[in-house]
A and B are shown apart, each in its own frame.
Chain A
Amino acid sequence: MAKVRGLLVWIASLAVLLLLPGLFDSVLSLSILNQMGITIIFALSYNMLLGQGGMLSFGHAVYFGLGGFMAVHSLNYIEAEVFSLPVILLPLIGGLFGLLFAVFIGSFSTRRAGTVFAMISLGIGEMIAACSLIFVGFFGGEEGISGDRTMAPEFFGFDFAQDLEVYYLIAGWVFVATLLMYLFSQTPAGRIANAVRDNPERAEFIGYSQRMVRFISFCGAGFFAGVAGGLFAINYEILTEENLNAITSGNVLLMTYIGGTGVFVGPIVGAVLLTLLQTVLSNYTELWQLYVGLLFVATVMFMPAGLTGVLMIHTVAWKNGRLRQLILPYITVGVPAFVLLCAIVGLLEMLQFYRHGVVGEHEMTLFFVSVDTSSVWPWIVTLLIAATAGYLVKALTPRLLSAWASANAPLERAKT
């Protein structure tokens, strides 16, 4: 039964992948979808380290970037007719080089987990990023390396000139890579990686070398990061130093963590959310990164299991059949919380406008309302809304908590 349901989920996601461009067919949404696909693979590969293996890496972009650089060089070789390869297989080249490099780095960095591993990954990341400005022949210096994906031999009549064709290429790879990574997490090796993460000593006692287990996860993560890099090369046709520097490494940590490291789909949620924030929210506000920062810090503090982790803790209530008891408390706390959030956002936006706006202009549009920041009233009104909503949240939260406790209380039946 579970197997059938699992199969259905995969078939459904494949259908969604195929149908998405029909729903979002503008040039903009296609490019967002493409970006999403690449980030999904990258974030999933990162979670092979963090979520499944318990290794916190600050240099995962290295494998992404190196894979991408190799792919873009391959594009140029294909254009120069050194060898020939359909574009669709290019991510494989990226993946193989990501893997190769991961084998090399992993051979010494996975000896330990924890801070030592984190620091080595940071050091390697900074080193490779610095090297990219030195070895101009390979990394292209400031300008990076560009290629042209349409120069590769046609694949069943597709030359991948259009973003839509690239979308299907990326979607195919997302499906395959996700499936493979999922299957890996189900293999004994993947299970043991969890065991090593949770209790390395015990894992050693039952006969598994924790180092070897970490090494295998590390290589897998390197491979899929390289695949994502190869897809990046196809989609953007350019790779630069930023593809392997600390900022890219940090971003992948950010989205994986926000999405949730404990659940397989967590990084997917994180990647989709962050890409949307990056591409859509940034159209409306200059402060989007501040909001992302807030979200990140709030996630680490209040929901260390990430967004999907928050959903997962409802399974007990759901299995108990008491999820319905939570709906009303959620709404009564949720609405004021949402208003509070909006009021805070409004205040921040008004402050930003007031401080950095053009001299002499006081009118700004906030949530479709025209606001005059030079008058005190909008400030007072927003502050009042925030205070009221804040009070309501505080007053109603105990009720939510007690509802939560009763919904999660063990069933009578379970006791007997």
Chain B
Amino acid sequence: MSFWRMAVLVGVLYPMCSHGADAVRIAFIDPISGTFSATGTNTLHQFEFAAEELVNKKAGVLGGRRFEIVALDNKASPRESQIQLKRAIGEGIQIIAQGNSSAVANAVTDAVRKHNRRNPANRVLYLNYSAVDPALTNDKCHFWHFRFDAHAEIKMAALTDVIAKQENIEKIYIIGQDYSFGKAVAAAAVKFLGQKRPDMAILGNELHPIGRVKDFTPYVTKIQSSGAQAIITGNWGADMVGLGKAIVDAGMNVPIYTYYAAFDGVTATMGKAGKGKIRLVHEGHYNPVPTKRLRDYHSAFKAKYPDHDLSNQRVYNVIEILAKAIDKAGSSDPLPVARALEGIEHTTLGGERVFMRREDHQLFQPLQISVHTDEGIEFDGDNSGFGLRTEESVPLENTLVETTCKMTRPQS
């Protein structure tokens, strides 16, 4: 009893937990609450799992240092991310991982650039694992930003290759979220379709507020009555769940070409109604699984987090490549690590070769186009029995695109 009271008093006077003294800490700044919490929480678990499984369970980095993921909730807001970034820097964290929403990424990359310029002694590294606004590795590129996901244009190039082959599709509708990413998707779709299928009519190019629309029925009514034969959307998280639900409810029966229409509730929502209709462009492999390493990794993840999915396969790339770069640099300080990351080559769990291009810090990797189905599924999504099965693969060579990035590199 008295021990408990003592403990209680001590506990209030002192912090309740302490950080491992020499762990390499990575701040994970993404939505853990709010509309997009499902996406953020799921990815957080993937980061924690990758750090544990791929680094800590092995020898760690630099001869025994662990990776520690520090989750900071940004509620998917650019402003809150800025506050959380300051906080991470204040706690001495040197590596920032962020991915959900390009609006946030634009704010974070800007803040990191400014911070590193003003505080050369106290720099941070920004690992962008998911924000795919092309500008981030083009006009807005800088030395401290590295992107591990193929950007919106690269993905759209792959998607439109598939769409262009569908002779029966003559009328298409584009709908997306009203911010830089949604606009980038729409612009890329218009550009590539104009080149590959000039005869295809784009009936609508609609942007809706991000995370605010709860009932997509009015939008679907509009799409349906326009007579579209296919839909392109870059929606993710709750916005994809909502759109999917409205499409299913309205009984619309057209193919949907997407970036993120799987997991975090989307797969369960689309279920049988979406079978064979949804195509999705992504990195990595869900089904079939190409290597034993990936299968073991995926099974171990599902064993530990039965209610979550390995939705972002790039996460394990981020952790493995970062560990590799830290070991190569012989230090976890941002500058040597960033130098080591430039041009780094890596073979993923799925056995694919990827590389981080030096010119713009964009990771290039093979892409897959998969279909939402329940046939031939080993690893499903949302425990629904449905999942993604690879239909086509785009080799790395076909994903290379030009960049307008003019990188200036710090001397010291």
Question: What is A's interface to B at a CB cutoff of 8 Å?
Answer: 26-32, 35, 133, 141-144, 146, 148, 150, 161-162, 236-240, 242-243, 279, 283-285, 339, 342-343, 346, 358-360, 365-369, 381, 385
Min Cβ gap B106→A in Å is: 6
Chain B 79-90 interface mask (CB, 8 Å, partner A; 1/0): 110110011011
Q: Which residues of B contact A28 (CB under 8 A)?
A: 87, 90-91
* Residue contact B11 to A144, C-beta cutoff 8 Å: no
Q: Which residues of B contact A358 (CB under 8 A)?
A: 304-305
* Residue contact A236 to B17, C-beta cutoff 8 Å: no
Listed residue (A148, A239, A368) with the most chain B CB atoms within 10 angstroms of its CB:
A368
Q: Which residues of A contact B7 (CB under 8 A)?
A: 367-369
Query: Is the CB of B179 closer than 8 A to any CB of chain A?
Result: yes
**Cα A150 to Cα B122 with chains together (Å):** 18
Min Cβ gap B368→A in Å is: 29
* Residue contact B118 to A365, C-beta cutoff 8 Å: no
* Residue contact B79 to A240, C-beta cutoff 8 Å: yes
**Cα A169 to Cα B394 with chains together (Å):** 54
Min Cβ gap B99→A in Å is: 16
* Residue contact A31 to B87, C-beta cutoff 8 Å: yes
* Residue contact A369 to B11, C-beta cutoff 8 Å: yes
Question: What is B's interface to A at a CB cutoff of 8 Å?
Answer: 1, 4-5, 7-8, 10-12, 14-17, 77-80, 82-83, 86-87, 89-92, 101, 103, 106-107, 110-111, 114, 118-119, 122, 178-180, 209-210, 304-306
Q: Which residues of B contact A359 (CB under 8 A)?
A: 304-306
Q: Which residues of B contact A279 (CB under 8 A)?
A: 87
List the 3 shortest-distance A-B pairs measured between CB atoms, nearest first. Answer: A367-B11, A28-B90, A142-B179
Picked from A162, A243, A346, the residue with its CB within 8 Å of the CB of B118 is: A162
Q: Which residues of B contact A150 (CB under 8 A)?
A: 114, 118
Q: Across the two chains, which residue of chain B brings its CB closest to A162?
A: B118
Q: Tell whether A237 pairs with B111 under 8 Å between CB atoms, given A27-B89, A243-B79.
A: yes
Q: Tell whether A141 pairs with B305 under 8 Å between CB atoms, given A238-B79, A368-B11.
A: no
Q: Tell whether A26 pairs with B90 under 8 Å between CB atoms, given A142-B179, A369-B4.
A: yes
Q: Which residues of B contact A343 (CB under 8 A)?
A: 8
**Cα A144 to Cα B111 with chains together (Å):** 13
* Residue contact A240 to B305, C-beta cutoff 8 Å: no
Q: Which residues of A contact B304 (CB under 8 A)?
A: 358-360
Q: Across the two chains, which residue of chain A brings its CB closest to B101?
A: A142
Residues of B contacting A: mostly: helix
Min Cβ gap A388→B in Å is: 9
* Residue contact A240 to B78, C-beta cutoff 8 Å: yes
Listed residue (B1, B11, B92) with the most chain A CB atoms within 10 angstroms of its CB:
B11
Listed residue (B79, B110, B209) with the most chain A CB atoms within 10 angstroms of its CB:
B79
Q: Which residues of A contact B178 (CB under 8 A)?
A: 133, 141-142
Q: Across the two chains, which residue of chain A brings its CB closest to B102?
A: A143
Q: Tell whether A240 pairs with B180 under 8 Å between CB atoms, given A31-B87, A359-B305, A366-B11.
A: no
Min Cβ gap B315→A in Å is: 17
Min Cβ gap B185→A in Å is: 14
Q: Which residues of A contact B82 (CB under 8 A)?
A: 236-238
Q: Which residues of A contact B306 (CB under 8 A)?
A: 359
A/B interface sample: 7 pairs, CB < 8 A = A28-B87, A28-B91, A133-B178, A141-B179, A148-B114, A238-B78, A381-B4
Q: Which residues of A contact B77 (CB under 8 A)?
A: 240, 242
Q: Across the two chains, which residue of chain B brings its CB closest to A278?
A: B83
Q: Which residues of A contact B15 (CB under 8 A)?
A: 283-284
**Cα A21 to Cα B122 with chains together (Å):** 19
Min Cβ gap B200→A in Å is: 29
Q: Across the two chains, which residue of chain B brings its CB closest to A284?
A: B16
* Residue contact A142 to B78, C-beta cutoff 8 Å: yes
Min Cβ gap B126→A in Å is: 15
**Cα A242 to Cα B75 with chains together (Å):** 11
* Residue contact B106 to A143, C-beta cutoff 8 Å: yes
Q: Which residues of B contact A240 (CB under 8 A)?
A: 77-79
Q: Which residues of B contact A35 (CB under 8 A)?
A: 83
* Residue contact B83 to A365, C-beta cutoff 8 Å: no
Q: Which residues of B contact A238 (CB under 8 A)?
A: 78-79, 82, 107, 110-111
Additional 11 contacts, C-beta under 8 A, given A28-B91, A342-B12: A31-B87, A142-B103, A142-B178, A144-B78, A162-B118, A236-B86, A243-B79, A358-B305, A367-B10, A367-B12, A368-B11
Q: Across the two chains, which residue of chain B brings its CB closest to A243?
A: B79
* Residue contact A242 to B8, C-beta cutoff 8 Å: no
Min Cβ gap A353→B in Å is: 12
* Residue contact A239 to B12, C-beta cutoff 8 Å: no
**Cα A160 to Cα B238 with chains together (Å):** 40
Q: Tell whether A31 pairs with B210 under 8 Å between CB atoms, given A144-B79, A146-B107, A237-B111.
A: no
**Cα A386 to Cα B192 with chains together (Å):** 66
Q: Which residues of B contact A161 (CB under 8 A)?
A: 118-119
Picked from B83, B110, B209, the residue with its CB within 8 Å of the CB of A133 is: B209
Q: Across the two chains, which residue of chain A brings its CB closest to B32?
A: A286
Q: Tell whether A367 pairs with B180 under 8 Å between CB atoms, given A31-B86, A238-B79, A279-B87.
A: no
**Cα A98 to Cα B304 with chains together (Å):** 52
Q: Which residues of B contact A365 (CB under 8 A)?
A: 16-17
Min Cβ gap B69→A in Å is: 13
Listed residue (A141, A284, A381) with the most chain B CB atoms within 10 angstroms of its CB:
A141
Q: Tell whether A146 pairs with B110 under 8 Å between CB atoms, given A141-B179, A161-B118.
A: yes
Q: Which residues of B contact A162 (CB under 8 A)?
A: 118-119
Min Cβ gap B133→A in Å is: 10
**Cα A346 to Cα B8 with chains together (Å):** 9
Q: Which residues of A contact B12 (CB under 8 A)?
A: 342, 367
Q: Tell whether A237 pairs with B114 under 8 Å between CB atoms, given A31-B87, A359-B306, A369-B7.
A: yes
**Cα A359 to Cα B179 with chains together (Å):** 37
* Residue contact A284 to B8, C-beta cutoff 8 Å: no
Q: Which residues of B contact A237 (CB under 8 A)?
A: 82, 111, 114
Q: Which residues of B contact A385 (CB under 8 A)?
A: 1, 4-5
**Cα A210 to Cα B4 with chains together (Å):** 57
Q: Which residues of A contact B92 (CB under 8 A)?
A: 27
Q: Tell whether A368 pairs with B16 under 8 Å between CB atoms, given A133-B209, A238-B79.
A: yes
Q: Across the two chains, which residue of chain A brings its CB closest to B209?
A: A133
* Residue contact A368 to B10, C-beta cutoff 8 Å: yes
**Cα A323 to Cα B77 with chains together (Å):** 49
